[in-house]
Amino acid sequence: MENPDTALDRLVPGWLTVPDVAERLGTDPGKVRRLLQEGRLVAVRRGEPPVASIPEGFLVPGHLANPAAPSRDPDVGEWAVLAALQGTLTVLADAGFSDAEAVVWLHTPDDSLPGTPLEALRSGRKTEVRRRAQAEL
């Protein structure tokens, strides 16, 4: 497997810091840190000095937070955390993936999807993605 740090730089198109995520979600950094603790998001330390960085693709416009849902949740703001992300992150953690390895896996193109697992999650195909993640166990 490629070094996760090298793969992160190559695969992830955009990063947000904890304060950036808080601003986008319309909340405070403490809430974002709780999302990280709860496993709804993951961050990797990047840069000099190392700063917790979250892939920008983990956030979606509020109306797309759960693409499989029939209607928009009125409690979701302009931006939200991708709903299908937490369960997928849990499966990857159970398979022994570090946070950095999970980010790499989610951003690595998979011809059988096609696209990346993250793109598939964003389009509502969480069952396909989790099936592939479980195969990593």
**If pLDDT is split at 50, 70 and 90, which confidence band does 9 have?**
confident
Token representation of residue 91 = 């499966």
**In this predicted model, what pLDDT tens digit does every residue of 103-118 receive, in sequence order?**
999 999 998 888 999 9
**If pLDDT is split at 50, 70 and 90, which confidence band does 136 have?**
confident
Distance, in Å, from the CA atom of 107 to the CA atom of 103, rounded to the nearest integer, reads 6
Token representation of residue 76 = 């979701």
Contact 135, 128 (CB under 8 A): no
**In this predicted model, what pLDDT tens digit does every residue of 36-74 receive, in sequence order?**
999 999 999 998 899 999 999 999 998 777 776 655 555
Q: Is the peptide bond between 114 and the residue preceding it cis, with omega within 30 degrees of 0?
A: yes
Give the start-to-end residue ranges of the domains of the chain.
4-64+73-134
Half-sphere exposure of 102 (CA within 13 A, CB side): 28
Q: 24 pLDDT exceeds 80?
A: yes
The pLDDT score that the predictor gives to residue 39 is 95
The pLDDT score that the predictor gives to residue 65 is 74
Q: 4 pLDDT exceeds 90?
A: no
Instruction: Note every long-range contact of 64-73, with CB atoms under 8 Å and residues 24 or more positions apart, other chains counting.
Output: 64/122, 67/122, 67/123, 67/124, 68/124, 68/126
Cβ atoms < 10 Å from Cβ of 90: 15
pTM for this predicted structure? 0.88
**In this predicted model, what pLDDT tens digit does every residue of 77-105 receive, in sequence order?**
789 999 999 999 999 999 999 999 999 99
Distance, in Å, from the CA atom of 2 to the CA atom of 42, rounded to the nearest integer, reads 20
Q: Strand, helix or coil at 15? A: strand
Which amino acid type is present at position 54?
I
